[in-house]
Structure 1
């Protein structure tokens, strides 16, 4: 924490200062571009996925800049207080830690959105383009499944936390309980801990979670994917028919056309013979 406070007062290197200045200029440039697109597209701008990602990058970046100056001010206040008292007075660093955590969260989300942005930048690559198109085609299904899974998961999260908060260390907090449930979903959890916590509720809740989440929700997702894929294949087959399947029909049409030409020639020859030509 001390090193982080020192780094807020002065930049530790020229490279850090140059990178920060370039980053701010890039953010200003992106803001101008997005404002122009917003005026051109209006409400359609918010219907595009990459526009939301771009807004996330800009929002987190602007928030990081504001929180950075807030942390800079807090570091100056603490350093001045330390100089005035020579360190003989208790200095509360709770606000400084809180501000530093907010800045860390914003930078983390900014990096997250930036990594997703790389998918669009590398769309010239065939594999990346295929990955992006796959996500685009199944976006609605993923959102619907995520909502359903989130509701079921949150219900079990509340159940395990309230039942075993005083009996299991892995359920001491909501975050730890969520981690335990994800481990159970991946089949990497030692069920003996739950069995030892309660003779009846432990096995019952564990079995209920495995049945509803692992075997029902995830299996339902696979079934839904297979049905959707089958429907898409049917639509594709109806729109784009394989030429081999129509090969025999094409041959029949060709033979009928040749036969018609032959009959027409016979009729013309018979007419010429009757006319004596």
Structure 2
């Protein structure tokens, strides 16, 4: 409904798998083009932009002073990520508002009797959501800087520094084993289990199995022997 800035993009996808079979999926993505829904949101946005401009000026001065040494500082990288994601989000916000005006005008002129492709807008909206998520993520990490004087936190950081090599070694070995099972499950069950239709969904399924929150009956239905065998093998080697 363009009159209230509400749109829905519907995508029906039929994927012809290389191992034979067809995997169908449907995606409904409602979204709106509201820029500001309240005065409070507008005020908070203005304050946030002012802070971003302030920090941008500070970081530029530090960059000019430290030059390449600036990029060796962990907190400088975090601050740079926050500023980059924030500025990109603002640009996308402005573009999305202009795109809404264009779509609304087109809809009014044609009374809705024309095909309007929303795929690009949906993609950009997903990018905006991801950028906002990264802003929150880096902002949360930045918050650690302000509580680093806490005794418990200092002990935790020291422990991480002490076991860094062991963690890296374990992560490397775990990645190799996980990739092996990822290839195994994807190649064996890509045409019979919906959760194995892609590498990304297969990886998500394996993480769910690691957390013991996956229904194993799908493997039995896919293959009476290989399904339970591969599932049990993953549980024994990875989980236990």
* TM-score normalised by the chain length of structure 1: 0.67
**2:199 matched residue in structure 1:** 174
Matched, 1:2 2:6: yes
Asked if structure 1 preserves the Cα contact closer than 8 Å seen for 2:33 and 2:97, the reply is no
Q: Classify 1:24/1:136 alpha carbon distance in 2 versus 1 (closer, same or farther; 3 Å).
A: farther
C-alpha distance in structure 2 between counterparts of 1:151 and 1:42, whole Å: 38
The runs of 4+ residues in structure 1 deviating greater than 6 Å are: none
Which structure has more relative contact order (CA 8 Å, sep 6+)? It is 2
**Correspondence for 1:43:** 68
Q: Which residue of 2 aligns with 1:65?
A: 90
TM-score, normalization: structure 2?
Answer: 0.76
Asked if the contact 1:53–1:117 (Cα under 8 Å) also holds between the matched residues in 2, the reply is: yes
Q: Secondary structure at the match of 2:59?
A: helix
Between structures 1 and 2, the one with greater strand share: 2
- Distance in 2, matches of 1:52 and 1:153, equals 30
Unaligned ranges ≥5, structure 1: 216-277
CA contact (8 A) 1:70 1:99 kept: no
- The within-5 A match list for 1:14-53 is 14-53=39-78
- Aligned-partner Cα distance in 1 for 2:6–2:159: 46
Instruction: Name the larger-Rg structure.
Output: 1
Aligned length: 213
RMSD: 2.5
Number of the residue aligned with 1:265: none
User: Aligned partners of 1:144 and 1:42: how far apart in 2?
Assistant: 33
Structure (1 or 2) with the greater helix fraction: 1
3-state DSSP class of the match of 1:29?
A: helix
- State the shift of 1:84 in Å: 1.4
Residues 12-161 of structure 1: pairs in structure 2 closer than 5 A: 12-161=37-186
Structure 2 unpaired stretches of 5+: 8-30
In structure 1, C-alpha distance between the alignment counterparts of 2:57 and 2:161, rounded to whole Å: 27
Instruction: State the Cα deviation string for residues 27-52 of structure 1 (Å, max 9, x = none).
Output: 12222222233334333333333222
